[in-house]
Structure 1
Amino acid sequence: MRATFGVPHLTTHVLDATVGAPAAGVDLVLGTVDGEVLATATTDADGRAALGPDVLPRGDLVLRFETGAYHRSRGVPTFHPFVVVAFTVSGTEHLHVPLLLSPFAHSTYRGS
């Protein structure tokens, strides 16, 4: 069962498509579009992380995934040194930003 939060709370799940497994050890930075850092985290053994203040500010935020460092740690060349996902906080719902990752492509969507 998914946790329920009364205020915006951000989670992510990073999967490495090249090995068909969670991407553990991906560093994350949550920030404003102006560059203010709100929180940092690292994905766990299941490729998951929760981050951010208890109350996310309304408006546009960015979640930066340090994918280049992740691939380098595995000895894999990569095209993307990092992936930035921009999104808008407009209410109090739980926000989930998953990332499907490979060395030369990525995809994301609004999760639940």
Structure 2
Amino acid sequence: MAASARDPITCHVLDTTTGRPAVNITVKLSCVTVSTIEFICETNSDGRITNWRNEQGTTRYTATGEPSERHGSFVKLHGGVTATLQHMITEYAAAEATAACPAGSSLWKLEFDTGSYYGAANTFFPKVDLIFLVKEGEHFHVPLLLGPYSFTTYRGS
């Protein structure tokens, strides 16, 4: 099976203590407007995430209350993860500008499980949450430079 095109939001984690990619960090991605739809992945051998997974499902019930099926209906309805991300970026873009969000943009959140990477007792930041603006039609790459007692980020290319 061919690798799918990269998703519209990607990230990269570098461990500044070793100067190497941070491998196997679990990262969650969500749109702040619709935080119930969550995407997840682990950083690869290069510390990158280029494609997300959606492991959520909704349980549908029969008229008698028995569970009938379980599937990620929202993601399935929109044609998979990449298409769903693109749909959400368009659908949840602010129609009018606010103090926190320009018109045509949406707020997204990346949650990095850094405690599992360093060990919760070995880091000051067991979780790093980054909230950022996404505009329709653009690609967003968010690098995280990570140490056990510090982190920094920027808009990548």
TM over 0.5: yes
* Partner residue in 2 for 1:107: 152
Residue 87 of structure 1: which of 120, 132, 138 is its match? 132
Kindly state the Cα deviation for residue 33 of structure 1 after the two structures are TM-superposed.
2.1
Higher relative contact order (CA 8 A, sep 6+): 1
Q: Please say if residues 27 and 42 of structure 1, whose CA atoms lie closer than 8 Å, have aligned partners that are also in contact.
A: yes
- What are the ranges of 5 or more consecutive residues in structure 2 without an aligned counterpart? 53-80, 94-105
Q: Deviations over 1:23-59 (max 9, x none)?
A: 0000000012253233100000110112453214231
Letter matched to residue 66 of structure 1: D
Q: Please say if residues 67 and 81 of structure 1, whose CA atoms lie closer than 8 Å, have aligned partners that are also in contact.
A: yes
* Partner residue in 1 for 2:70: none
Tell me the TM-score normalized by structure 2.
0.61
100-109 vs 85-94, which moves further: 85-94
Partner Cα separation in structure 1 for residue 147 and residue 30 of structure 2: 24
Report the CA distance shift for 1:42/1:81 in structure 2 as closer, same or farther (over 3 A).
Answer: same
- SS in structure 2 of the partner of residue 98 of structure 1: strand
State the 4+ residue runs in structure 1 displaced beyond 4 angstroms: none
Report the CA distance shift for 1:51/1:63 in structure 2 as closer, same or farther (over 3 A).
Answer: farther
Pairs aligned (count)? 105
* Partner residue in 2 for 1:29: 28
Q: Which structure has greater helix proportion?
A: 2
RMSD: 2.0
The structure number with the bigger radius of gyration is: 2
Q: Percent identity?
A: 38
Tell me the TM-score normalized by structure 1.
0.83
